[in-house]
């Protein structure tokens, strides 16, 4: 019973923090930067995974994953966007400018993600120079992009193994394809959990223990998978594609990115609430559970605020 009460208190605390931090507005800002970072980010991830499997295999795997999330039409739009953004430049100067543009574009969304996470963790404005801060944040972003590339490689290896096992087992064990599908879903959830845990652990300027990030990362990965069905249901019942006509595919991508940002921030709030109530920060002074307005007992009230200047991304 005590565990249920403690778990409920964590959820209530996270919900109160999510509302208090105006997560919907932060998610809109993150979604805006993500739209412009999608193509360069995909190019870098494909380049990293392509070192092992080749560019075509890596590109196909990434497009398949994106299409499974946003649908065929929006997936085709993303494929065209990535293809145009990845067109090779001619000349040394143009190539250098192109590479620089890709690096800046791919890492910009992580700057905005860090701003949101710092606000959730109540991190004060950085004392270092703006240039030093920008370089440090973008180096973190590149490290995370490398991790995403590695996870794509893992996904490719697992998918290839499951496909081979499915072809072999289908002739002998009729129920095996269903078990392999379930295993594939579990692997995908595990990979997403690892990715979100990395972001929650590395990106904020606060010190966060690994033990604190797994609950928020696991819940976020689950909601991320559920979002595929929620967005599909919304599209089927709202007629949003018909209303926006030719821009329908772009609207679908924007909807998915915004939903992903919303649940990402809730996962961060859940991580913070768990850390302060049951994790490494539970015994720190100044974090007293109090009743939050409108949410009932169990919300942690934190009076310190992050200056607004630290909440905006720098392209």
Dihedral (CA of 102, 103, 106, 112) sign: negative
Selected residue with higher pLDDT from 308 and 281: 281
Model pLDDT for residues 176-219, shown as the tens digit of each residue:
667 777 887 888 888 889 989 999 999 898 889 999 999 999 99
Selected residue with higher pLDDT from 285 and 102: 102
Q: What pTM did the predictor assign?
A: 0.80
Q: Is the pLDDT of residue 307 over 50?
A: no
For 43, 50, 153, 190, the CA distances from 54, given in Å and listed in that order, are 13, 4, 11, 24
> Sorting pLDDT into bands at 50, 70 and 90, what band is 304?
very low
> Sorting pLDDT into bands at 50, 70 and 90, what band is 308?
very low
Q: Which of 71-85, 159-173, 286-300 has the lowest mean pLDDT?
A: 286-300
What backbone phi and psi angles, to 5 degrees, belong to 312? -115, 145
Q: Is the pLDDT of residue 240 over 70?
A: no
CA distance 97 to 89: 9
Give 3-state DSSP helix, strand, coil % of the chain, rounded to 5: 80, 5, 20
Angle between helices 72-85 and 248-277 (to 10 degrees): 90
| C-alpha radius of gyration, the chain, whole number | 21
Q: Is the pLDDT of residue 295 over 60?
A: no
DSSP-H helix ranges across 121-203? 130-169, 176-202
Model pLDDT for residues 114-167, shown as the tens digit of each residue:
889 999 998 876 666 677 877 888 888 888 887 777 776 777 677 667 667 666
Q: C-alpha angle 190/191/196, rounded to 5°?
A: 95
Taking the chain, what is the end-to-end CA distance rounded to the nearest angstrom? 48
Say if residues 38 and 148 touch (Cβ distance below 8 Å). Answer: no
Of residues 273, 284, 227, 211, the one with CA closest to residue 15: 273
Q: C-alpha angle 278/30/305, rounded to 5°?
A: 50
Which residues are CB-contacts of 130 (< 8 A; sequence separation ≥ 6)?
314
For 245, 268, 277, the CA distances from 220, given in Å and listed in that order, are 32, 9, 19
**Which whole number is the average pLDDT over 29-56?**
84
Catalogue the E-assigned strands of the chain. Answer: 289-292, 296-300
């Amino acid at each position: 019973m005590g565990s249920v009460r403690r778990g409920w208190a964590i959820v209530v605390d996270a919900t109160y923090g999510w509302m208090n931090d105006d997560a919907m507005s932060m998610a809109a800002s993150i979604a805006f930067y993500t739209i412009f970072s999608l193509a360069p980010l995909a190019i870098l991830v494909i380049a990293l995974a392509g070192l092992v499997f080749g560019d075509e295999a890596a590109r196909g795997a990434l497009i398949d994953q994106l299409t499974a999330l946003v649908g065929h039409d929006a997936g085709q739009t993303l494929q065209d966007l990535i293809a145009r953004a990845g067109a090779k430049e001619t000349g040394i100067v143009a190539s250098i400018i192109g590479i620089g543009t890709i690096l800046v574009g791919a890492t910009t969304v992580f700057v905005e993600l860090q701003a949101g996470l710092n606000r959730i963790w109540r991190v004060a404005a950085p004392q270092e120079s703006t240039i030093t801060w920008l370089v440090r944040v973008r180096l973190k972003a590149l490290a995370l992009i490398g991790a995403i590339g590695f996870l794509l490689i893992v996904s490719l290896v697992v998918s290839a193994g499951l496909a081979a096992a499915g072809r072999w087992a289908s002739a002998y064990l009729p129920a095996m394809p269903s078990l392999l599908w379930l295993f594939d879903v579990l692997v995908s959830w595990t990979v997403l959990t690892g990715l979100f845990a990395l972001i929650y652990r590395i990106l904020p300027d606060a010190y966060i223990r690994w033990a604190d990030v797994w609950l928020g990362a696991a819940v976020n990965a689950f909601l991320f998978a559920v979002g595929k069905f929620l967005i599909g249901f919304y599209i089927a019942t709202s007629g949003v594609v018909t209303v926006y006509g030719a821009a329908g595919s772009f609207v679908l991508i924007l909807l998915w990115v915004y939903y992903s940002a919303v649940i990402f921030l809730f996962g961060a709030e859940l991580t913070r609430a768990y850390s302060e109530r049951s994790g490494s920060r539970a015994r720190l002074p100044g974090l007293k559970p109090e009743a939050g307005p409108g949410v009932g007992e169990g919300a942690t009230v934190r009076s310190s605020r992050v200056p607004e200047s630290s909440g905006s991304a720098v392209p």
